[in-house]
Chains A and B, each alone.
Chain A
Amino acid sequence: ENEKTDSEYNTVAEIEKKITEAFEVFDHECNQTVDVREIGSIVRSLGCYPTEAQLHELLAEVEEEEPTGYIHLQKFLPVMTRVLVERSYQPTPEDVLLHAFEALDVNKCGYLTKEELVKYMTEEGEPFTQEEMEDMLSAALDPETNTMRYKDYITLMIVDDV
């Protein structure tokens, strides 16, 4: 995307349409609502990197008075528009991500063992669920050595993410 035209052409109207489209991908019933559990995916797919805590705050703003398990586009749209206009929850630059892995790599060997990875991801920060942990392991772990070469992993994920 052409950065310098952002301000000109990414008007609020365009942003709203973009949000609506992303919302509709998850709107199975075509009735302007999505399952509350999908909000995280929608927000993130629009280029934001919120923590789980930040996501919960956002959810509190878009949920109904009496939570129904569904979020209406009507409530979501203004909140999400603000998020995008204010550029909240910015992404992590690749080198910062690398440093984070290196910080966990106590012995500086260039890789994390399965045990180390599981420990950090499920005990620190905002812990992974078992499913998230299994998903990461299946993609990240070299089955022969049971280790994650994090530099390679980052590259792999970034290729997928293009």
Chain B
Amino acid sequence: MGCKTSVPCNATKKSERCKCLLRAALLIQRWYRATMARIEMRRRYCLNIFQSIEYADEQAQLQLSNFFTFMMDHDLEMTESNFSLAEFERRIDVPDSYYGPRLKFPLTVADANALLDAFKKEELLHARYVLQLLHETRRVLKEMPNITYLSTSYSKEITVCGDLHGKLDDLLMIFYKNGLPSEKNPYVFNGDFVDRGDNSMEILIILFAFLLIYPNDLHLNRGNHEDYIMNDLPKIGSDFKKFILQVHGKVILYLLEDVFSWLPLATVVDSKVLILHGGISDTTDLDFLNLFERSKVREHVHVGLLLSSLKNLAAVGPHEEDSSRDPTQKEWQQTLDILWSDPRNQRGCIPNKLRGGGCYFGPDITAKLFERYNLKMLIRSHECKQDGYEIGHGGKVITIFSASNYYEDGSNRGAYIKLNPDLIPRFIQYQVTFHSAHSPPRINTVEGAALKALREKIYANKTELMEAFMSKDLTGAGKLSVSDWAEAMESVLQLELPWRTLRAQLARLSADGRIEYTSCFYDLEIEKPVEEPSLVETLCKYRKDLEMIFNFIDKDQSGLISLEEFHHTWRLFCAHMGVETDDEAIIKLANTIDYNKDGYIDFSEFLGAFHVVHRLDKGK
């Protein structure tokens, strides 16, 4: 291919030179496109990995929320959560040593700015103000209809934001680029403000504060995550903070769940643009949705199944509630549909099995709804999109997602929509980045994180996977064909991932081209090896969940629970989750962890031991 002439071109050489350049350019373009395609493929399957694990976890977490509710002492929280502003003031003291924002109700822009400043500096808001804020927010939300009708009159542009998922940096980025909410700058936040990110509480506090200041210009739609709070109590730092939040944590939790249940379900702009979190189904009835008491729908999927299983477990039933407070089947179904559904290109409407709630709706379903209600556009969120937004159904359905780097640094951009009075959407994209501005985040970083998450899942399912492997390994050689290995992986993990494509990152090939299946577990180990391997796996799988539960039952917030409490809770948990438990093994385990032998376990230390360590990480 050499064309290394240093002699200046003359006429005859020129045409040769041109051909040479053409070939060179072609070669480079061919190579470039192939390379970029492979990177794109990796980006896609990384997103697949993240998404599959996320949805699987979400389903598991839904089960957990009911367990949580069952554990709560409803009566106490209910009383406390109904205190007035003045009573909160009286009962909860804010010490002089507290330097954070001190809110005065009714809130003003000065309060909102104080909150933004405080959160930028990673300060927390005192529990009394949190409670008062929530109290006021609930009061204001209760007066709002299920569906809010807005207009872009006075040439106002309305900004629509999607999922934030506790990522404060993205909210701050939006405010930076687009300005703070005000009468001249209305916003719609389309649900999923919380969970996964680190700053769910901060985001809620900011959004609720602006809601109180500009109730006609700051609109919140409920998302499927505004239903139960799993990760929301902010990170506890010093003892002081621990005191503030843990002591009042339960009441905050209870009040917050109430506030969530009062979030409106949808917003309609100029009677033409429908904005809601998930999607629609073939039975979505906006008139019905606008009329029923929305706060009745509190726990979404699996309600029926789990409530009945709880009845078998519960010695004490805190849910001695009036059944007229329960939603009807239709109310439950209609809400579920709009909070959980996803659009797809195929016609029709089928149950959304990936999510476990809502449905997949096709362009014909959209068209029918539009015809029935004279709509022009549907703006929804709920799904992470690489570019922060996606347009589907021939321009009729827009997905808007505002949490950039959702799965990992570099996984995706965030975006928001500017809707002008012509109802033509403009998309503004952004990506919060901690790297230098020049280089886009490398695919290797995203892939590394995706594979790490996947490997942890593999570890947590080791027993089942080994059973599946061995059942296919008829000769006991310790090896399987790629095909058999892939089948086994999918049958146990059920993540619908491209196993052959991922193979090189997950397992070793032997010389004969077959997979040594135990190599799947090579690079992973538990920090503190323990005798009971299957028990360890279970603890590994549910580590985060157990941490939350233990935090919850730790009544005096000492970080310690008695062996008895530990044992009791563990048994209940296993029964609830349908996990087989060996009582003796657990007691034995707990005893080894009770270092002081005083009958108490430091549960953080206990659970910390079941963190999966990636051998390759050591020495980093």
Residues of A within 8 A of B (CB): 1-2, 5, 8-9, 13-14, 17-18, 21-22, 24-26, 28-31, 40-45, 48-52, 91-92, 96-97, 99-104, 108, 120-121, 124-128, 132, 135-136, 138-139, 143, 157, 160-161
Contacts and interface: CB of A to CB of B under 8 A. Distances in A.
Contact of B34 (A13, A17, A49): A49
Interface stretch (B77-85, B188-196, B466-474, B498-506): B498-506
B34 A48 contact: yes
B21 A120 contact: yes
B451 to A, nearest CB: 13
Given A132-B36, A160-B39, 8 more contacts: A2-B509, A5-B511, A29-B344, A49-B31, A97-B27, A136-B32, A160-B35, A160-B444
Contacts of B24: 99-101, 103-104, 120, 124
B48 interface: yes
Contacts of B48: 25
Contacts of A22: 41, 498, 501
The dominant DSSP class at the B interface is helix
A21 B499 CA distance: 8
Contact of A103 (B20, B35, B41): B20
A44 B44 contact: no
Contact of B498 (A25, A29, A52): A25
A154 to B, nearest CB: 9
B34 A44 contact: yes
Contacts of B27: 92, 96-97, 100, 125
A23 B566 CA distance: 48
A41 B443 contact: no
Contact of A17 (B32, B439, B483): B483
Contacts, number: 153
A52 B37 CA distance: 13
In the A-B complex, the 6 residue pairs with the closest CB atoms: A44-B37, A125-B25, A5-B513, A124-B25, A45-B41, A125-B26
A43 B511 CA distance: 28
B442 interface: yes
Given A21-B499, A25-B498, A108-B6, A97 B28 contact: yes
Contacts of B504: 1
A16 B403 CA distance: 37
A108 B7 CA distance: 12
Interface in B455-514: 481-483, 486, 496, 498-501, 504, 509, 511-514
A9 B513 contact: yes
A119 to B, nearest CB: 10
B383 to A, nearest CB: 10
Interface centre among B41, B444, B511 (most CB of A within 10 A): B41
Contacts of B30: 49-51, 92, 126
Contact of B38 (A26, A44, A92): A44
A40 B38 CA distance: 10
B616 interface: no
Nearest to A43: B37
A104 B34 contact: no
A21 B234 CA distance: 41
Contacts of A100: 1, 23-25, 27-28
Contact of B25 (A5, A13, A26, A104): A104
26 contacts: A2-B509, A9-B482, A13-B483, A17-B486, A24-B498, A25-B44, A25-B48, A41-B37, A43-B37, A51-B26, A52-B29, A91-B31, A92-B30, A100-B25, A102-B4, A103-B20, A103-B24, A104-B21, A104-B24, A104-B25, A104-B28, A125-B26, A125-B28, A126-B30, A160-B442, A161-B39
